[in-house]
C-alpha cells in the first residue's frame, strides 16, 4: 500500500521539482515564471486548438512509449524507436501513394497501417534476432539500426520517391487518409488531432491486457523478472524476446500513422525526428506501465507544445530542460525509495 | 583465562519498524568456542555484523576486552583483533594464497616492493601450528572449497586476530573436512583465542562448542554451557515447541523401475568430462538418495534430467523415465510427462520473487488446462487451487494484502514450491535438490513428512542433498557420487541397519564421496 502511494507520488514530485528548477531559468531570462506558466496554460489546455495539438503530440508519444515499454518487460532497452518509427512512416507513405486511388478507405487505411507496423516491427525484430542468435547487446544494435534506417530512407527519398525539388514523397491517396477529429465531430478546430489517437488508446489497453491477463504476458513478465527461473519453468525466453521486440517495433511503426496518414499525408525529411527518443522518457516516467504511459505521454505532449506557445518570450529549450530534469528526478527518486 | 572478551549490553538493531535484534545482552568468555544457533531470520547475521562493525547498533553498547567501542567500519573491528570468515569467501581467484592473505595488510609504502617471501614464511609457520595445510604459492582458483576456507582462517591469524567469527563454516565442507576444521578450532581455543561459531546444525554445536546461545526472533532466548544441553533442547528453544528432529520413516514398498540411468557420460561445453559411466535406477515408491560433495556431477545430472543442458555439451548413454528417453526432450516436455523438479537454488530458479503467491503456485504449471480460460487464466480455478495448496501445505502469510513472494519467509516459500511440484497431476518422478536448504527446523519437519507421504503414494523420488543426516533419514537407498560416477551404492538393508548408528554410517558414506 505504502509502496503504491510512493510510486504514484514519484512522478508528481519529479514534475513539480522540474517546474521549480525551470522557474529559475525563466527568471534568469528576465520573465516572471508564473506569467509564462499561465500564458502557456491558456494557449494549451486553455484553448480548443491547443488541446488538439497536445492530443496530436500525445498520440505519437504514447506509441513510441509503448515501443520502449514492451521490450522493457523482458529487460531489453529498445533505443531504436527513432529508426522504427521512421521505417514505419516511410513505409506507410510509400504504400499510401502506390495504392490505386479508387481503393476503399477501410482497405487503404488497413493496408497502410499494417505496412507501417510491419516495417517498424521488422527493424526491431532484427535487433531481437541479433540478441537471441549472437547475444548482441540490444542497446547497441538498435542505435546502429537507427543510423541504417535513416540513411536508407534518406537515400530512397532523394533518389527515388521525392516529388522533384521537394523533400517529400507524393501525397497518399485520399482514401488512405485518417479523418480529423475536427472534420468528423467538430472538436479541436484546425488542429492536427486525428483518429489515430484511438489506435494509440486501444494499443495501451491491448498491451495491458496482454501483459497482465494472458498466459503469454505471464510468461513474458517471468522472463523479464528472472530469466533463469523462467527456463526452469519450461518457458522459452528467446521466443519472448523476439515477440517483445516485434510488438514494440510495431507500436513505433503505428506511431507514424498519426503523422503520415493523419496529418501530413506524405513523408518528408525529418517528419518523425525526436519522437522515438522522447518515447524512452515517456516509458521511463510511467515505469513502463502501458496504462500510465497515457498520462506520461500527455505530460510530454503538453511540455512539447507548451514550449512552442511561449517561444516568443522565452526559449522553448527551457522545456526540454524540464523534460530532462523530470526524468533525472524519477531515476533518483526510484533509486532512493528502494 | 576465563574473563569476558566481548560484552554486549542491551544491543538492539531495527530496520524501519522491524527489529532484527532486540535488547541483546551477552558475555563471551575469552578462550572459548561460543556457538550461536537460531533459525534463518532469527538475527544471527545481524548480531555478527554488529560485532564486526558492518552494522551500527540502534541502541545498546558493545565492549571488547573491557573497552567500550563503537565501530563504524570493519577496519576498526580488525584493529581490535576481531576477524570474520564469511559464509561466502572473499578471496580473489587469480591471486596466490600468499597474495590473498597479504591483501589489505601489505606493509611498507604504496610503491614499496611486496615482501611475499617473508609473508609466505610466516603463513607456513602459522599453518603448521594449527593444521591448516595449504600451499602458499598456489592460485586460489586451484584450491578446493575446504582449502579456501583454510586460507580465510589463515588470513585472520596472519593479522593476529584473537576473536574469530565463523559464519556457517561447515555448509560447504565434507564430513572429513568438517572434523579437520573442528580440530583446528579447538587448537585455536586452547591457545587462548576466542571463536564465535554461527550455525544452524545442532550436531556441530554439541560436538565442538563450550557455550551455546540460542536466538529466536531477534532475541537471545538462552545461553548455556554446551555440556548441559541436548539436541532436542536446542531445537525446542529455537522453534518454541517440541520438534521431531527425525521424520518417521515407515518401511517402503518399492514398485516397478521408473528411472533408469545407464552408462551416462556427459561432456560439458568446454570439453570437460562431468559424468562418467553413471548408472542407477529409481523405483516407484522409493527414495533414492545421492550423496556427494558439491561439484561432483550432481548439477550436470540434474540439468540432463530437466532438459537444460547447455548447447555444445555432449550426452552419451541413456536416461529414461517410464521407458521414455529424456535426452532429447526440453523442460516443457519433461514436465508434461509427470516429472517435477525442486531446484537447489530456490530464489534463482524455482520462484519469481516479485510475483504473488498464486502466480508462483502457477509457475511452470501455467500451461495446464485447468487454469486457462481463452488466452488468459481462469481466475476462479487459480484462486481455488491457491487456497487448496495454502491449506494443505500450511503456508503462512498475510493473505489480505496479496504480497509478493519475497515478503514470505524462506520456509514458506519452499513450501509453495513443494506444494506446486508435488501436486502436479500424474506425477511419477519427483526430483529434489537440497530440499531443505535455508529452511527453518519447523518447516524441515513438515517438508520431510510430505516427502515420505509422496513416496507412499508410489511416486519415485530422487533426492540429492549435501546433508548426510537428511539423506540417511529419508532415503531407501543411497548412491555415493564422486567425480561424476557412482562409487558405491548402499542397499536398503544397509541403510535400515545404519540408521541405528548414524554417525558410523555418515563416516562410511563420507569415505566414498571424498
Please enumerate residues of B whose Cβ is less than 8 A from a Cβ of A.
306, 308, 330-332, 334-335, 341, 343, 348-355, 359, 362-364, 366-367, 372, 375-377, 401
How far apart CA B370 and CA B410 sit, in angstroms, is: 28
Count of Cβ atoms closer than 10 Å to residue B237 Cβ: 20
**To the nearest whole angstrom, how far is the Cα of A233 from the nearest Cα of chain B?**
4
Contacts across the A-B interface (CB distance below 8 Å): 65
**To the nearest whole angstrom, how far is the Cα of B270 from the nearest Cα of chain A?**
18
Pick the residue from chain B with its C-alpha nearest to A230.
B349
Q: What order of strands is seen across the sheet that includes strand B33-38?
A: B82-85, B163-167, B194-199, B33-38, B211-216, B219-225
H/E element holding A142?
helix A138-156
**To the nearest whole angstrom, how far is the Cα of A18 from the nearest Cα of chain B?**
30
pLDDT score of B153 more than 50: yes
Count of Cβ atoms closer than 10 Å to residue A65 Cβ: 35
**Taking CB atoms and an 8 Å limit, are A233 and B355 in contact across chains?**
no
Q: Which of B332, B352, B400, B420 is best to mutate for the A interface (most A CBs within 10 A)? A: B352
- pLDDT for res A2: 56
**Option in B334, B349, B401 nearest A229 (CB):** B349
How far apart CA B500 and CA B498 sit, in angstroms, is: 5
Q: Which DSSP letter does residue B362 get?
A: H
How far apart CA A264 and CA A262 sit, in angstroms, is: 7
User: pLDDT digits over B94-133, tens only?
Assistant: 999 999 998 877 777 777 777 888 888 899 999 988 888 8
Question: Coil, helix or strand for A127?
Answer: helix
Contact residues on chain B for A235, CB-CB shorter than 8 A: 332
User: pLDDT digits over A275-328, tens only?
Assistant: 999 999 999 989 899 999 999 999 999 988 998 898 888 888 888 888 888 888
Dihedral sign computed on CA atoms, order A129, A133, A138, A144: negative
Measured CA distances, A35 to A27, A31, A91, A326 (Å)? 11, 8, 44, 21
- pLDDT for res B427: 95
Q: Pick the most confident of B1-5, B202-206, B239-243.
A: B202-206
CB-count exposure of residue B51 (10 Å: 0-12, 13-18, 19+) = buried
Q: Which of A209, A234, A337, A338 is best to mutate for the B interface (most B CBs within 10 A)? A: A234
Q: How confident is the model at residue A7 (pLDDT cuts 50, 70, 90)?
A: confident
Pick the residue from chain A with its C-alpha nearest to B341.
A232
Q: Which of A73, A133, A230, A233 is best to mutate for the B interface (most B CBs within 10 A)? A: A233
Whether residue B141 contacts residue B93, with contact meaning beta carbons closer than 8 Å, is answered with yes
**Taking CB atoms and an 8 Å limit, are A234 and B349 in contact across chains?**
no
* Residue located via cell numbers 506444494: B419
CATH number, domain A64-337: 1.10.3470
Average pLDDT over residues A101-124: 97
Kindly state the cell numbers that stand for A256: 507514424
Contact residues on chain A for B354, CB-CB shorter than 8 A: 225-226
Pick the residue from chain B with its C-alpha nearest to A236.
B332
DSSP result, B371-403: GEETTEE-HHHHHHHHHHHHHHTT--S-GGG--
Whether residue B447 contacts residue B418, with contact meaning beta carbons closer than 8 Å, is answered with yes
Nearest to A62 by CA among A289, A318, A306: A289
Contact residues on chain A for B308, CB-CB shorter than 8 A: 231-232
Measured CA distances, B445 to B247, B285, B495 (Å)? 7, 20, 20
**Option in B363, B375, B377 nearest A222 (CB):** B363
User: pLDDT digits over A158-177, tens only?
Assistant: 999 999 989 999 999 999 99
- pLDDT for res A338: 42
Measured CA distances, B281 to B70, B168, B248, B460 (Å)? 59, 34, 24, 10
Mean pLDDT over all residues of chain B?
89
pLDDT score of A337 more than 70: no
**To the nearest whole angstrom, how far is the Cα of B409 from the nearest Cα of chain A?**
19
Contact residues on chain B for A214, CB-CB shorter than 8 A: 375-376
**To the nearest whole angstrom, how far is the Cα of A74 from the nearest Cα of chain B?**
14
Return the biggest CA–CA distance within chain A: 63
Q: Which DSSP letter does residue B353 get?
A: T
- pLDDT for res B45: 84
* Residue located via cell numbers 575446504: B146
How far apart CA A116 and CA A111 sit, in angstroms, is: 9
Q: Where are the domains of chain A?
A: 64-337
**Residues 6 or more apart from A324 whose CB is under 8 A from it?**
none
* Residue located via cell numbers 478546430: A189
Helix ranges (H only) for B240-372 are 298-305, 331-336, 357-362
Pick the residue from chain B with its C-alpha nearest to A213.
B376
**Option in B334, B351, B376 nearest A229 (CB):** B351
Average pLDDT over residues B414-430: 94
Helix ranges (H only) for B267-314 are 298-305
**Taking CB atoms and an 8 Å limit, are A232 and B354 in contact across chains?**
no
Whether residue B468 contacts residue B506, with contact meaning beta carbons closer than 8 Å, is answered with yes
Chain A 176-235, residues with CB within 8 Å of chain B CB atoms: 213-216, 218-219, 221-222, 225-226, 228-235
Chain A 61-100, residues with CB within 8 Å of chain B CB atoms: none
Contact residues on chain A for B359, CB-CB shorter than 8 A: 218
**A5 touches B: beta carbon within 8 Å:** no
Pick the residue from chain B with its C-alpha nearest to A229.
B349
Kindly state the cell numbers that stand for A223: 522472463
**Option in B331, B332, B354 nearest A225 (CB):** B354
How far apart CA B188 and CA B129 sit, in angstroms, is: 9
Q: What angle do CA B112, B116, B118 make, to 5 degrees?
A: 105
> What is the share, in percent, of chain B residues with pLDDT greater than 90?
56
Nearest to B299 by CA among B311, B310, B288: B310
Q: Beta strand B429-433 with B339-342: parallel, antiparallel or unpaired?
A: parallel
Nearest to A48 by CA among A183, A188, A186, A182: A188
Q: Domains (ranges, CATH) in chain B?
A: 4-239 (3.40.50.300), 253-338+427-514 (3.40.50.300), 353-425 (no CATH)
**Option in B330, B335, B348 nearest A229 (CB):** B348
Pick the residue from chain A with its C-alpha nearest to B346.
A229
**Taking CB atoms and an 8 Å limit, are B364 and A213 in contact across chains?**
no
pLDDT score of B174 more than 80: no
CA A210 to chain CA mean position, Å: 19
pLDDT score of A1 more than 60: no
pLDDT score of B17 more than 80: no
pLDDT: is B266 or B86 the higher one? B266
- pLDDT for res A3: 64
Kindly state the cell numbers that stand for A235: 518457458
Can you give the pTM of this predicted structure?
Answer: 0.81
> What is the share, in percent, of chain B residues with pLDDT greater than 70?
99
Q: Pick the most confident of A239-253, B67-81, B442-456.
A: A239-253
Q: Which DSSP letter does residue A268 get?
A: B
Average pLDDT over residues A41-47: 91
**Residues 6 or more apart from B480 whose CB is under 8 A from it?**
B290, B291, B292, B486, B487, B488, B489, B490, B509, B512, B513
**Taking CB atoms and an 8 Å limit, are B352 and A1 in contact across chains?**
no
End-to-end CA distance of chain B: 38
**Residues 6 or more apart from A101 whose CB is under 8 A from it?**
A173, A174, A175
Count of Cβ atoms closer than 10 Å to residue A50 Cβ: 22
CB-count exposure of residue A86 (10 Å: 0-12, 13-18, 19+) = buried
Q: Pick the most confident of A62-71, B100-109, B155-164, B503-512.
A: A62-71
DSSP helix, strand, coil percent of chain A (3-state; round to 5): 75, 0, 20
pLDDT score of A118 more than 70: yes
Whether residue B461 contacts residue B288, with contact meaning beta carbons closer than 8 Å, is answered with yes
Nearest to B192 by CA among B2, B376, B432: B2
pLDDT score of A336 more than 80: no
DSSP result, A273-330: TTHHHHHHHHHHHTTT-TTHHHHHHHHHHHHHHHHHHTTTTS-THHHHHHHHHHHHHH
- pLDDT for res B116: 83
**Taking CB atoms and an 8 Å limit, are B352 and A226 in contact across chains?**
yes
**Taking CB atoms and an 8 Å limit, are A232 and B372 in contact across chains?**
no
Kindly state the cell numbers that stand for B19: 527489529
Measured CA distances, B243 to A81, A291, B200, B246 (Å)? 60, 50, 15, 9
Pick the residue from chain A with its C-alpha nearest to B421.
A233
Average pLDDT over residues A152-160: 94
Amino acid at each position: 500500500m505504502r509502496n503504491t502511494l510512493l510510486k504514484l507520488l514519484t512522478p508528481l514530485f519529479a514534475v513539480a521539482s522540474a517546474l521549480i528548477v525551470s522557474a529559475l531559468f525563466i527568471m534568469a531570462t528576465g520573465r516572471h515564471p508564473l506569467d509564462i506558466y499561465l500564458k502557456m496554460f491558456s494557449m494549451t489546455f486553455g484553448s480548443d486548438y491547443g488541446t488538439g495539438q497536445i492530443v496530436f503530440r500525445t498520440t505519437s508519444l504514447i506509441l513510441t512509449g509503448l515501443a520502449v515499454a514492451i521490450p522493457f518487460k523482458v529487460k531489453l532497452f529498445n533505443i531504436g524507436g527513432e529508426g522504427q518509427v521512421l521505417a514505419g512512416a516511410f513505409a506507410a507513405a510509400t504504400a499510401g501513394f502506390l495504392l490505386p486511388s479508387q481503393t476503399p478507405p477501410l482497405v487503404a487505411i488497413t493496408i497502410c497501417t499494417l505496412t507501417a507496423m510491419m516495417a517498424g516491427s521488422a527493424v526491431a525484430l532484427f535487433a531481437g534476432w541479433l540478441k537471441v542468435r549472437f547475444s548482441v547487446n540490444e542497446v547497441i544494435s538498435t542505435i546502429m539500426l537507427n543510423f541504417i534506417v535513416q540513411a536508407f530512407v534518406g537515400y530512397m527519398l532523394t533518389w527515388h520517391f521525392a516529388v522533384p525539388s521537394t523533400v517529400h514523397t507524393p501525397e497518399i491517396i485520399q482514401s488512405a487518409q485518417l479523418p480529423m477529429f475536427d472534420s468528423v465531430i467538430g472538436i479541436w478546430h484546425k488542429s492536427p488531432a486525428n483518429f489515430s489517437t484511438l489506435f494509440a488508446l486501444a494499443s495501451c489497453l491491448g498491451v495491458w491486457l496482454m501483459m497482465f491477463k494472458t498466459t503469454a504476458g505471464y510468461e513474458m513478465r517471468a522472463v523479464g523478472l528472472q530469466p533463469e527461473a523462467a527456463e526452469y519453468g519450461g518457458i522459452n525466453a528467446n521466443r519472448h524476446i523476439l515477440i517483445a521486440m516485434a510488438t514494440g517495433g510495431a507500436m513505433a511503426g503505428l506511431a507514424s500513422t498519426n503523422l503520415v496518414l493523419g496529418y501530413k499525408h506524405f513523408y518528408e525529411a525529418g517528419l518523425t525526428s525526436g519522437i522515438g527518443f522522447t518515447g524512452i522518457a515517456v516509458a521511463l516516467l510511467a515505469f513502463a506501465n502501458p496504462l500510465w504511459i497515457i498520462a506520461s505521454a500527455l505530460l510530454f505532449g503538453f511540455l512539447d507544445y507548451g514550449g512552442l506557445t511561449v517561444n516568443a518570450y522565452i526559449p522553448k529549450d527551457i522545456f526540454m530542460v524540464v523534460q530532462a530534469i523530470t526524468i533525472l528526478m524519477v531515476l533518483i527518486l526510484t533509486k532512493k525509495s528502494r | 583465562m576465563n574473563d569476558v572478551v566481548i560484552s554486549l549490553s542491551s544491543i538492539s538493531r531495527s530496520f524501519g519498524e522491524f527489529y532484527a535484534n532486540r535488547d541483546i545482552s551477552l558475555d563471551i568468555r575469552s578462550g572459548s568456542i561460543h556457538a550461536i544457533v537460531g533459525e534463518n531470520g532469527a538475527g544471527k547475521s545481524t548480531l555478527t555484523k554488529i560485532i564486526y562493525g558492518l552494522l551500527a547498533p540502534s541502541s545498546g553498547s558493545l565492549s571488547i576486552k573491557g573497552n567500550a567501542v563503537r565501530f563504524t567500519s570493519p577496519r576498526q573491528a580488525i584493529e581490535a583483533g576481531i576477524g570474520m570468515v564469511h559464509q561466502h569467501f572473499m578471496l580473489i581467484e587469480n591471486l596466490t594464497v600468499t597474495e590473498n592473505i597479504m591483501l589489505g595488510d601489505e606493509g611498507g609504502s604504496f610503491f614499496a616492493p611486496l615482501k611475499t617471501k617473508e609473508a609466505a614464511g610466516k603463513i607456513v609457520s602459522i599453518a603448521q601450528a594449527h593444521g591448516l595445510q595449504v600451499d602458499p604459492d598456489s592460485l586460489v582458483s586451484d584450491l578446493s572449497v575446504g582449502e579456501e576456507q583454510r586460507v580465510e582462517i589463515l588470513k585472520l591469524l596472519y593479522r593476529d586476530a584473537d576473536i574469530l567469527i565463523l559464519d556457517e563454516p561447515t555448509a560447504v565442507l565434507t564430513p572429513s573436512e568438517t572434523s579437520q576444521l573442528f580440530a583446528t578450532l579447538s587448537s585455536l581455543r586452547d591457545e587462548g583465542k576466542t571463536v564465535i561459531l554461527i550455525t544452524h546444525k545442532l550436531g556441530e554445536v554439541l560436538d565442538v562448542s563450550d557455550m551455546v546461545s540460542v536466538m529466536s526472533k531477534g532475541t537471545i532466548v538462552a545461553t548455556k554451557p554446551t555440556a548441559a544441553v541436548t539436541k532436542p533442547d536446542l531445537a525446542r528453544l529455537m522453534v518454541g515447541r517440541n520438534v521431531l528432529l527425525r521424520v518417521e520413516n515407515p518401511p517402503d514398498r518399492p514398485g516397478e523401475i521408473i528411472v533408469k540411468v545407464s552408462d551416462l557420460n556427459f561432456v560439458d561445453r568446454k570439453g570437460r568430462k562431468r559424468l562418467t559411466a553413471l548408472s542407477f535406477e529409481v523405483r516407484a515408491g522409493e527414495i533414492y538418495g545421492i550423496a556427494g560433495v558439491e561439484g561432483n556431477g550432481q548439477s550436470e545430472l540434474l540439468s540432463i534430467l530437466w532438459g537444460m543442458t547447455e548447447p555444445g555439451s555432449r550426452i552419451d548413454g541413456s536416461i529414461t523415465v517410464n521407458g521414455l528417453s529424456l535426452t532429447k526432450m526440453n523442460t516443457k516436455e519433461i514436465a508434461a510427462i509427470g516429472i517435477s523438479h525442486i531446484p537447489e537454488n530456490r530464489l534463482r530458479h524455482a520462484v519469481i520473487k516479485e510475483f504473488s503467491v498464486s502466480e508462483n503456485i502457477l509457475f511452470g504449471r501455467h500451461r495446464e488446462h485447468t487454469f486457462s480460460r481463452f488466452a488468459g487464466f481462469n481466475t476462479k480455478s487459480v484462486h481455488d487451487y491457491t487456497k487448496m495448496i495454502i491449506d494443505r501445505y500450511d503456508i503462512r502469510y498475510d493473505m489480505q494484502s496479496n504480497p509478493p513472494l519475497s515478503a514470505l519467509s524462506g520456509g514458506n516459500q519452499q513450501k509453495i514450491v513443494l506444494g506446486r511440484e508435488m501436486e502436479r497431476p500424474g506425477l511419477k518422478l519427483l526430483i529434489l535438490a537440497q530440499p531443505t536448504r535455508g529452511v527453518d527446523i519447523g518447516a524441515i519437519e513438515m517438508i520431510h513428512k510430505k516427502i515420505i507421504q509422496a513416496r507412499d503414494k508410489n511416486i519415485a523420488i530422487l533426492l540429492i542433498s549435501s546433508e548426510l543426516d537428511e539423506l540417511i533419514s529419508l532415503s531407501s537407498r543411497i548412491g555415493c557420487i564422486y567425480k561424476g560416477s557412482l562409487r558405491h551404492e548402499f542397499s536398503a538393508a544397509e541403510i535400515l541397519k545404519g540408521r541405528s548408528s548414524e554417525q558410523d554410517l555418515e563416516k562410511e558414506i563420507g569415505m566414498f564421496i571424498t
